[in-house]
Chains A and B, each alone.
Chain A
Amino acid sequence: MRGVAGGRNLRKILTGLRTNMPMLSLQGISKDYLTDGQRVPALKGLSLNVERGEFVALVGRSGCGKSTLLNLAGAMDFPTSGTVLLDGVATSSLKDTGLTQLRREKIGFIFQSFQLLHTLTVFENVELPLLLAGKTNPREVARERLAWVELDGLGERYPHQLSGGQMQRVAIARALIHSPGILLADEPTGNLDTITGNVILELLRRLTCEQNTASIIATHSLEAASLADTVVKLRDGKIEEIIRR
């Protein structure tokens, strides 16, 4: 199934105009994990569409399936059943090269623990996705993204010279460097104090709105939920409730 698109022109597939399609479409997806030979269901027949520019908050208790959903949405994992369509492309139909290409062009990730490379400067961290994609001279774009997150002038610093909030801003700039269609954030304020966390959430909200980027944020934060266009409540691997504002 995943090998179907092996020989196709991936770029054509990925850049095809599908403006009438949701940026992310989860269609009846289930995900089981094998733990000590036992099948443990993480997601059970879940369907969800996320449009461009939509800010979605994914809430629920620990273990309810938030991270699993983000992994499937980010093409880092595959559903046991059902289909994940990212900008109209079924992730299961892509081989490793296609998945890598998809991540390079369509997806931005933000993590709870920032996940910056300590050996690189702020500039270099932000540029990294473009460099990995083979783009040359990404410095100007990086400078612009750092300006978006209000970190002008800190590009030559190393992560350990920054505060937690600043590190998460760098992570946001990095996630947005390639203008992804969807931004996936797993507890982006989990390691920050409330005030800094709120500032980061507002920044995220503003930037994704400006860039017309779909965002899914897994969070425990009520503040995050209050900022979202859509709140998806998960419980035991199922959608319990969807609140649209």
Chain B
Amino acid sequence: MHLFLLFYRLMVRPLLREPARTLLTISAVALGVAVVLAIDLAGAAATGSFRGSMETLAGDNDLEVTASGGVPEELVGTLATLPYPMRVSPRIEDYAVIADTKKSLPLIGLDLVAGASSHAQNASKFGDELQAQWASKQTLEHLGDNDSVWVGSSLGYKTGDQVPLLINDQIHEYTVRGVYSDSNGNEAAIVMDLSAAQRALRRYGRVDRILLKLPENSRLEDWRQRLRAMLPAGVEIRPQGAGTDENRRMLAAFRWNLRLLSYISLVVGAFLIYNTISVSVVRRRPEIGIVRALGASRGVILFAFVGEAVCFGLAGAFIALPLGRFMATGAVRLMASTVESLYVSSRPGPIELSPASVLLALAIGVGVAVASAYSPAREASEVAPIEAMARGRREYDARVRKGRDLWLALILGLAAAAASRAPAVAGKPLFGYLAAILLVVASALAIPFFVALLTSFSSKLLGRLFGVEALLASRSLAASLRRTSVLVGALSTAIAMMTSVGIMVGSFRQTVLFWMSDRLPADLYLRPAGVPAADRHPTISLELAQKIEKLPGVAVVDRLRAYEISYEGMPATLASVDSQALRRYPRSNFFSGRRTDQVLAELRDSNAIIVSEPFSYKHQVRTGDSITLSLGATQATFRIADVYYDYSSEGGTIVMSRSTMLRYLPDPTPSNLAVYVAPAANVETVRAEIEQAAAGHRVLMFSNRDLRAEAIRVFDRTFAITYALEAVAVIVAVMGIAGALLALVIDRRRELGLLRFLGAATRQVRKLILIEAGLLGLLANFAGLLLGFALSLILIFVINKQSFGWTIRFHWPMEVLLAALTVVYAATVLAGLYPAQVAVRLNVLEVIHEE
């Protein structure tokens, strides 16, 4: 107890006496922890608790039967007539848009007739609400109607209401026959009978999945083997929800990288805690000497300073809880749209601040605080009492071993270079991260040397250029080398992260722009109206495609078709192109460097495919390799003719010619149309003709310029969250600078008071502090830019490549970088305003006589 009393008197009270500085440090920790918490909460909501929308109303089944392009319907009968006591539930799964509200919802087709009759036979077995509804008399008579739908209660419809639904490229009117509760884990969806769904989606003779409920206590693997033997080669049987697991695996890299990005603020915060505790140790050195002389053990001193950090960590974590929860609301929106654009359709779950989240925040806050405070605290505990009382701050600061640290930095830099060349571990760029961490540490170690070097060279020059205030500011920074280095380290880390991510995103953007200039050779593109998502491939009526083909101004229509498939346990897109249309690519987009017409000729003439770079990287396949794909009921082996650069999806894409795809998946309806206008025709005239031809169809038409603009908009939205995370890191760093300058003013009050005695005007004192802030900003910008450049190379060529498989061409986004660095620099100087005001308001008489 007495220890706590002493702790309060010696450690807490001084913190309370400097509320502004204490608050700044706590706020910096709070922001750092809040960002991590926000990304964790948002990640859990947007992807972590990810349960595909298509799992809605799936029930508790054990196995699922799937096939690329759909499972042949006859297999439902085959499975249902097997002499096994299992439930067989075929499903159609897609999306529909309520035409009035533009709300996009899962569209689920269930075998309602069979479900209702099963329910009638055995109510206890299928005792859910929806089944009960279907079994009701009034509903039963509408089960077979093609215009009957059942909807989730949260949509607000009543039985008998009319709902206009956009399905693929057409709107149909449907009648609500019943409403089911969607508050018990089920998502709001549109449910219709299987046959009605097949008709609406033009998916005749196929279902998307067959769910199987096995008898209780069955051994899943045994059943899987047994049923596998009875199914065609291309059909896969797997545990129910395997698709969700696949999506989770695919999303892992995205979540992992985002989570790491969120730790930047925490790293910056750690620097600042280290600085705060170092300052605290320096200031209280004489006190340490006195209490040690009065009988305090080393342990007590260690406890005191670690305890101080714990106070910062705890206070920061408690503020971070509501702050992180609040920030998560914004983050989840950004993350969910990225997940939908790049990965898979999902609806974010609720943001839950669970006990685990609270513990995480506390652990991070206190953990980071203790870890960063340990070194200065230990140093404080090892000081001999006499030494502490006798020596001043200057000598203590002089202990920075800049020469030794520079050598260490060089060694770590070399280790980083070696780590960056190591391959991924289990698909994760662990050595890439290690290289980045080593570089940050190396930079922190090298900074004292460079700060000393630069300030020693520059102080006189600065004095000549900007007056005596600049000379004093420069000398003061050089004299407090440790403190200056930590501050420059903190701010430069934030700037480096900002710069590196800025370069990476800028390079990526430039690469995508360059790539798109090749990839969109047609004049007009059509897709079904509705909400686009990476895993949704609604189709356009074949008649419409044919109608457009016959228009006089149209030269060629390329009918593109895409399916979501599973390859080696990972989602991928299978696409087909009309290879005769694609002659106009100006540059090669292939790894081999061959011309596009050469590669496409190969696709036409043989059982060949091309794969995208991410697919090639993820599945470790290259040109000349063969891969086996499950297509419909069959399996076929294809030779990879080439690998092409692609940035449209992270899952990877396999492309084959349309004729090849139709051999295995005979549905001729296209997902998109690429229209090439005849050389003599006017694009706008043709556009008007197509619009006329498409009357009654809901399709969206884009010029290639529109499509590029849309892609870049999606791209920018995708990276909005990274910019937000960087901004927070910079705010944390700037807050740290403000806090540290405040501490600097308080520590140097005697010196500042003396300057007033010697004739310094208040504006000169203010200028002195602002110049110090400016110099800190300049040093940090310089170091940050260098470190950022090195980190960007790791991000682009190691972490990105190993996480996502994309080749990005390096590009300096000069405008963005210049603007960002200017803003950071201005913020750093502005952070000096309040400390400068404090310096001006010092009572010079008190401070000069207090020592």
Contacts and interface: CB of A to CB of B under 8 A. Distances in A.
Interface of A: 67, 71, 74, 76-77, 96-97, 100, 103-104, 109, 111, 113, 115, 117-120, 124, 128-129, 131-134, 160, 174, 178
Contacts of B216: none
B475 A103 contact: no
B44 interface: no
Contact of A160 (B394, B463, B467, B751): B394
A186 B642 CA distance: 88
Given A96-B762, A119-B476, A132-B764, A124 B757 contact: no
Contacts of B472: 117, 119-120
Contact of A129 (B478, B759, B762, B851): B759
Contacts of B851: 113
Contact of A119 (B479, B758, B762, B849): B479
A129 B848 contact: no
Nearest to B753: A115
B848 A100 contact: no
A111 B845 CA distance: 12
A104 B478 CA distance: 27
A160 B397 CA distance: 14
Contacts of A160: 394-395
Contacts of B814: none
Given A67-B849, A77-B845, A132-B764, A109 B758 contact: yes
Given A111-B848, A113-B851, A132-B468, A120 B760 contact: no
B454 to A, nearest CB: 15
A74 B496 CA distance: 49
A103 B759 contact: yes
A109 B756 CA distance: 11
A174 B757 CA distance: 12
Given A67-B849, A117-B751, A74 B757 contact: yes
Closest 7 CB pairs of A and B: A104-B759, A131-B468, A119-B475, A119-B479, A100-B761, A129-B758, A103-B759
25 contacts: A76-B757, A76-B845, A77-B845, A96-B761, A100-B762, A103-B758, A103-B759, A104-B759, A115-B750, A115-B757, A115-B848, A117-B472, A118-B394, A119-B472, A119-B479, A120-B472, A120-B475, A128-B755, A129-B758, A131-B463, A131-B467, A131-B468, A132-B760, A132-B764, A174-B758
A131 B476 CA distance: 16
B471 interface: yes
Given A96-B762, A132-B764, A109 B479 contact: no
- Secondary structure of the B contact surface, majority rule: helix
B754 interface: yes
Nearest to A160: B394
Contacts of A103: 756-759
B600 to A, nearest CB: 72
B844 interface: yes
Nearest to A125: B758
B844 A97 contact: no
B105 to A, nearest CB: 69
Contacts of A96: 761-762
Nearest to A76: B845
A129 to B, nearest CB: 5
A178 B757 CA distance: 13
Given A67-B849, A117-B754, A124 B471 contact: yes
Given A76-B845, A100-B761, 4 more contacts: A76-B756, A115-B754, A117-B754, A124-B471
A110 to B, nearest CB: 10
A76 B764 contact: no
A76 B762 CA distance: 13
Contacts of B849: 67
A115 B463 CA distance: 21
B98 to A, nearest CB: 71
Nearest to B755: A132
Residue from the set A100, A104, A124, A131 with the largest chain B CB neighbour count within 10 Å: A131
A140 to B, nearest CB: 17
B518 to A, nearest CB: 60
Residue from the set B475, B758, B764, B845 with the largest chain A CB neighbour count within 10 Å: B758
Contacts of B759: 100, 103-104, 129, 132-133, 178
Contacts of A118: 394, 479
A120 B478 CA distance: 11
A156 to B, nearest CB: 13
Interface in B731-782: 750-751, 754-762, 764
Contacts of B751: 117
A100 B754 contact: no
B757 A109 contact: yes
B483 to A, nearest CB: 13
Residue from the set A97, A119, A124, A129 with the largest chain B CB neighbour count within 10 Å: A119
Contacts of A178: 759
A100 B765 CA distance: 12
A71 B761 CA distance: 17
Nearest to A109: B757
A236 to B, nearest CB: 20
B390 to A, nearest CB: 13
A181 B476 CA distance: 31
Nearest to A77: B845
A181 to B, nearest CB: 14
Nearest to B750: A115
Contacts of A128: 468, 755, 758
Interface in B449-474: 463, 467-468, 471-472
Nearest to B761: A100
Nearest to A127: B468
A131 B466 CA distance: 11
Contacts of A115: 750, 754, 757, 848
Nearest to A134: B467
A219 B577 CA distance: 99
Contacts of A134: 467
B477 to A, nearest CB: 9
A157 to B, nearest CB: 15
B257 to A, nearest CB: 44
A128 B764 CA distance: 13
Contacts of A129: 758-759
A100 B760 contact: yes
A30 to B, nearest CB: 17
A67 B758 CA distance: 17
A126 B467 CA distance: 16
A244 to B, nearest CB: 29
Interface in B203-234: none
B13 to A, nearest CB: 19
Contacts of B845: 71, 76-77
Contacts of B844: 76
Contact of A97 (B467, B754, B757, B761): B761
Contacts of A113: 851
Contacts of B478: 119
A178 B851 CA distance: 26
Interface string B828-851: 000000000000000011001101
Nearest to B751: A117
Contacts of A97: 761
B221 to A, nearest CB: 75
A216 B463 CA distance: 34
A63 B654 CA distance: 91
A104 B758 CA distance: 7
A111 B750 CA distance: 12
Given A76-B845, A113-B851, A119-B478, A132 B471 contact: no
A78 to B, nearest CB: 11
A118 B750 CA distance: 12
Contacts of A174: 758
